[in-house]
Amino acid sequence: MNIGFVGLGNLGLPMAYAFKLKGHKVFGYDLNPGRMNPEWFEEKEVAGDGVSDLKPFLVKDPINYVASLEECMRNSDILFVTVQTPNKTGHDGTIPFPKRRENYNLEPLKSCIKDIAGHPAGPIICLVSTVLPGTMRKDFLPLLEGTGHQDNFVHNPMFCAMGTVIPDLHNPEFVLLGSDNEAASKKVANFYNTVNDAEKVITTIENAEMIKTTYNGFITMKINYANTVMEMAHKIHGCDSDVVMDCLFKANKRLISTKYLRGGMGDGGGCHPKENASLSWLAQDIGLSFDWFEMNMTCREKQTEWLADLICENKLDASKFPVAIFGTAFKEETNLEDGSPAILLINILKKRGIQPIIYDPFVERVRKDPVLDSPTIVFISTKHEEFKNYDYPAGSLIIDPWRYIPDIDDVDVIRIGENK
């Protein structure tokens, strides 16, 4: 297949060569003429297939450099856009962050998209550049409107590490494709089937944007947590952070797994909230540089307050729309209320002057099925199976943070985290 690249930097050039190694004809273009010569490439890049340094291979067997964007597009079935979206000055992590946060600098990429829009439609435009969720729809797709390119637009963010782009592309965890056009996504997926055997995930543009950016945020979270453990161990005699983490690595059912990675209510039980509160005390007692555990508890409370906000936003008339909290147990199909985030929610609502109806079929003190004989705002705080088939009054509003309540006739269901 004929593959084009716009942007031949430290990601674009090794990507281009990764596809060339799989037998594709690759064309490359960059606004910087200096990058139209493989001699510029100074990064140490593991090329895989026995190649330990990419530069000699780029020089000996280069991709096809072309003189213009138009020529690159004309020769391509799929055009990969790898133009950078750099951070603005002071936001790249090399100096302390300013208090005011900034979006990426989108101008270089916006200029490139405008140039693409000025040429005839033809190749699938596969935008690799990292952007925040909502950016494509707001800033880039309008530039392509009416050109024909918008029908062939796919967001294809990369999950490669600098220095190992080629082996990462040949053996990725998954390939991510976001588009409004399923046919375009499938064509790109079929191309990637010639490059690797990984699962091809086809989704919306917004999901693709969010998956890429939250993936990186997750990595930072892991690093910061490990560094917190390291600092604690350094300040407490007898501790070794590597021994601690080596043991946590063995917890591959709950910790190193997909467990607890679905949005819903905060954590509960007899251990989690109190452990974080106690660890926060310890962090302050030994002078940790950052109290991670205070952050955990603050996050849990702020998110529960936000859920209360959602209830209050929909509580238009207290006399017509009473509020019911379904579930006080901290996890489904049990009667255990220790540390329950549902009870935290109830207490927050009471402080706001809302006295909710409370029901949990497993908990003795609130087991009695309430009489709901008028439209009610029902918040599902515990994922009990019974609530899926409950006889909710017509005109009620169900707020479901677990996204498991099915559609119900004459009842509105808000599934939190599902914004279609």
Burial of residue 341 (CB within 10 Å: 0-12, 13-18, 19+) is buried
Let me know: does 319 contact 279? Beta carbons within 8 Å. no
Give the model's pLDDT for residue 44.
Answer: 67
CA dihedral 62, 67, 69, 71 (to 10 degrees): -90
What is the CATH number that goes with domain 300-415? 3.40.50.720
pLDDT at 107 exceeding the cut of 70: yes
Taking CA atoms, 138 is separated from 23, 121, 185, 219, in Å, by 36, 21, 20, 27
pLDDT (tens digit, 9 = 90+) per residue, 251-305?
Answer: 999 998 888 888 999 999 988 888 888 889 899 999 999 999 999 999 999 999 9
**Across the chain, what does the average pLDDT equal?**
91
Q: Which residue has the higher pLDDT, 163 or 301?
A: 301
Let me know: does 35 contact 8? Beta carbons within 8 Å. yes
pLDDT (tens digit, 9 = 90+) per residue, 203-231?
Answer: 999 999 999 999 999 999 999 999 899 99
> Per-residue confidence at 317, pLDDT binned at 50, 70, 90?
low
Partners of 326 in the β-ladder:
359, 380
> Per-residue confidence at 5, pLDDT binned at 50, 70, 90?
very high
- Residue 284 CB coordination number (10 Å): 12
Give the model's pLDDT for residue 186.
Answer: 97
Query: Can you tell me the distance from the alpha carbon of 398 to that of 401, in angstroms, rounded to the nearest whole number?
Result: 10
Nearest Cα residue to 205 out of 246, 156, 245, 241: 156
Q: Tell me the mean pLDDT in the region 377-384.
A: 97
Which residue ranges make up each domain of the chain? 2-213, 300-415
Runs of H (alpha helix) within 290-393: 292-313, 341-351
Q: Which residue has the higher pLDDT, 212 or 419?
A: 212
Query: Can you tell me the distance from the alpha carbon of 37 to that of 41, in angstroms, rounded to the nearest whole number?
Result: 8
Q: Give the list of residues 6+ apart from residue 346 with CB closer than 8 angstroms, or none.
A: 325, 328, 356, 358
CATH class of domain segment(s) 2-213: alpha beta
Q: Tell me the mean pLDDT in the region 357-362.
A: 96
Query: Can you tell me the distance from the alpha carbon of 356 to that of 298, in angstroms, rounded to the nearest whole number?
Result: 24
Pull the structure tokens for residue 396: 């009620």
Amino acid making up residue 29: Y
> Per-residue confidence at 131, pLDDT binned at 50, 70, 90?
very high
Q: Which residue has the higher pLDDT, 20 or 37?
A: 20
Strand-strand pairing, 25-29 and 2-6: parallel
CA angle 80/181/178 to nearest 5° reads 55
Helix (H, G, I), strand (E, B) or coil at 359: strand
Ranges 9-18, 48-57, 177-186, most confident = 177-186
Query: Can you tell me the distance from the alpha carbon of 12 to that of 30, in angstroms, rounded to the nearest whole number?
Result: 10
Query: Can you tell me the distance from the alpha carbon of 64 to that of 346, in angstroms, rounded to the nearest whole number?
Result: 65
CA angle 400/401/403 to nearest 5° reads 70
pLDDT at 54 exceeding the cut of 80: no
Length of the chain as a residue count: 420
Instruction: Enumerate helices (H) and strands (E) in the chain, giving the number of each.
Output: 13, 13
pTM: 0.86
Q: Which residue has the higher pLDDT, 95 or 303?
A: 303
Query: Can you tell me the distance from the alpha carbon of 273 to that of 300, in angstroms, rounded to the nearest whole number?
Result: 9
